[in-house]
Amino acid sequence: MSQEKWYDQFYGKKSSRSAKAAERTKRKEYNKARDEYFDQKRRGVLAEDGVPTSQSAKKGQRGVADVPAGAQKSAAQRSSIGDVRSFAAGASDAQILSSRNLFDATAIPQDSRRVLENFDAIVQGVRPMNSRQMQSLPKDIRTLSHLLTDERGARHVAYMNATEQLSAYLRYFTWWNLVRLTRVFANLPASSLAFNDGDALLDAGSGPLTLVIALWLSRPELRQKRLTVYCMDISQSTMAVGEELYLSIAAKTPPKNPDAEGFWKIVRVKGELGTDIRKKAVFVGAANMFNEIYQKDHEAPEKIADKQIKALTSYAAPGARFFIAEPGMPVAGRFISLMRERFIRRGCAVVAPCPHQKTCPMNGLHARYGGSAKWCNFSFSTADAPQKLLKLSESAGLPKERAVISFLFVTGGEVQSSSDAGSLAELHDVRGNPTENKVQKALPLAVVSDPIRLGEHRTGFYSCTEHGMALAIAGRAKGLKSGDIIKMSMLKSMDTLPKDKKSGAVEITL
């Protein structure tokens, strides 16, 4: 008889109260049990299999497990994204000159939004399920979620070849990944993805071609191009399903030019990163691949990053673009920070999300084990996500109020950075009046965290600047959110500003 998991008791509960009240109670109980469970694991009371160490035969394999999908919520994250109260607590320290968001949904083309809204129907056309399979889908999604998070050790290397798991992945995880990636690609600078006819792209760890589909949906100008996309993965069957999905979607979102071919040439390459391809790529992408490598490779993170940077750059043509996206977890934030450092050493320039090329102030060092270092991960509200996807998430017991991602986009050539837009600006006072005709270089700032409720009715956001980590205080600036890239002119010297006692970050009131 299989052992009951710690989370099993929270699924299938019935209550006479309203559905919303029951859901709130269930989530509170779930969070409490989760905290107790992982606290025991950190203290060594439980082994990796969840059995008390006094009963476990695996005493030498203790470690810290990752928090299950949808379960990790810090005090800052628990605050509502839509409830950001801003108060003018004295004079501002900086004036906002311009602001844009890395996840602006309006940047996604209208025809692509329709595809995202009805992605489940497209999957059904490619990989149909009967009514019985549909009924078990929420349970299959929940099972796969745990295999991808707190039960990774029990996951088989070819898990995507299993019928139930591949169907659950396509209908849930691929859908959410498309929601995330289309927002990222649609909001990158126009010049960063300016490819030419005949260019080759590489999608490493391609799976069901999620990255390729996201690129097609978010950048309609690329649909006109004759591109060859090398899709690399160890699962040939998963890539085959992904290619069918891509072609179905391309048929629904054709290029505006009637003379264009209507789709890119897909070349499936079975193998791991390091497998040869015929042509150097102008774009090398990898989405949700390296977190799986971490599970198999037990070397130090720095050595893993050294190996992966060498493998990725071996495929690149001169001036190639590189894109990495990982789940918004501490281990992923740490890895991306390490890769960022190595790309810069090789002469690459960071396009997004970083507002500068200097040392990363949110490198996630030891964050996974309770260290004080912040890790770079962004979130956006799911309020305008596909309603059918939100409903499916609820039925699977994995409700999402926010989508989280850690990512990096760099280039070996010269393109406009996400933070470049009017680098020189006339300095104004807090009322918008010009001061002494002084001209000052605009300081870019990236808002990273969710809103944090501070004392004295203030709201703050951990942010990134070339001077290090900052705590941006919403003073006169209203509606700040994670992913905002702000250009500001400082009205006070950074050296004179107070510092946050908890993090040491300089406080900047906007």
Indicate if the alpha-carbon torsion angle 215, 218, 219, 222 is positive or negative. positive
User: Quick check: 123 and 393 in contact, CB under 8 A?
Assistant: no
Beta strands 443-447 and 458-465: pairing type?
Answer: antiparallel
* Average pLDDT taken over every residue of the chain: 80
For residue 414, pLDDT beyond 70: no
For residue 123, pLDDT beyond 80: yes
- Tokens found for residue 489: 């002119």
Task: Report the distance separating Cα 257 and Cα 262, nearest Å.
Answer: 9
Q: What is the pLDDT of residue 238?
A: 93
Q: What is the pLDDT of residue 65?
A: 35
Q: What is the pLDDT of residue 23?
A: 59
Q: Does the bond joining 220 to the residue before it have cis omega, within 30 degrees of 0?
A: no
Higher-confidence position of 160 and 183: 183
* Range with lowest mean pLDDT among 254-268, 295-309, 350-364: 295-309
For residue 502, pLDDT beyond 90: no
Higher-confidence position of 157 and 66: 157
Q: What is the pLDDT of residue 364?
A: 83
pLDDT winner (highest mean) among 212-216, 292-296, 360-364, 504-508: 212-216
Q: Angle of helix 174-186 relative to helix 387-395, nearest 10 degrees? A: 140
Cβ neighbours of residue 392 closer than 8 Å, sequence gap 6 or more = 120, 137, 138, 141, 171, 172
* Range with lowest mean pLDDT among 59-73, 161-175, 473-487: 59-73
For residue 325, pLDDT beyond 90: yes
Task: Report the distance separating Cα 7 and Cα 30, nearest Å.
Answer: 7
For residue 48, pLDDT beyond 80: no
Model confidence, pTM:
0.78
Closest among 328, 327, 360, 333 to 345, alpha carbons compared:
360
Half-sphere exposure of 470 (CA within 13 A, CB side): 24
Q: Compute the CA torsion angle 506, 365, 184, 410 (nearest 10 deg).
A: 100
φ, ψ for residue 259, nearest 5 deg: -85, -10
* Range with lowest mean pLDDT among 18-22, 149-153, 271-275: 149-153
Residue 428: pLDDT band by 50, 70, 90 thresholds?
very low
Burial class (CB in 10 A: 0-12, 13-18, 19+), 180: buried
Higher-confidence position of 475 and 9: 475
Task: Report the distance separating Cα 210 and Cα 171, nearest Å.
Answer: 12
Cα 459 versus chain centre, distance: 24
Q: What is the pLDDT of residue 264?
A: 98
Per-residue model confidence as pLDDT tens digits over 110-119: 999 999 999 9
Q: What is the pLDDT of residue 457?
A: 84
For residue 332, pLDDT beyond 90: no
For residue 101, pLDDT beyond 50: yes
Q: What is the pLDDT of residue 88?
A: 39
Residue 59: pLDDT band by 50, 70, 90 thresholds?
very low
Indicate if the alpha-carbon torsion angle 150, 151, 156, 162 is positive or negative. negative
Q: What is the pLDDT of residue 96?
A: 94
φ, ψ for residue 86, nearest 5 deg: -115, 130
Task: Report the distance separating Cα 496 and Cα 492, nearest Å.
Answer: 7
Q: What is the pLDDT of residue 324?
A: 97
Cβ neighbours of residue 299 closer than 8 Å, sequence gap 6 or more = none
Task: Report the distance separating Cα 429 and Cα 91, nearest Å.
Answer: 10
For residue 71, pLDDT beyond 50: no
Per-residue model confidence as pLDDT tens digits over 436-473: 434 456 899 999 999 999 888 889 999 999 999 999 99
Region of 64 on the Ramachandran plot (φ > 0 left; ψ -120 to 50 alpha; else beta):
beta
3-state secondary structure of 27: helix
Higher-confidence position of 300 and 315: 315
Q: What is the pLDDT of residue 5?
A: 54
Higher-confidence position of 129 and 151: 129
Closest among 252, 169, 255 to 209, alpha carbons compared:
169
User: Quick check: 349 and 414 in contact, CB under 8 A?
Assistant: yes
The DSSP output letter for 169 is I
Q: What is the pLDDT of residue 40?
A: 62
Cβ neighbours of residue 430 closer than 8 Å, sequence gap 6 or more = 91, 92, 95, 476, 491
User: Quick check: 96 and 487 in contact, CB under 8 A?
Assistant: yes
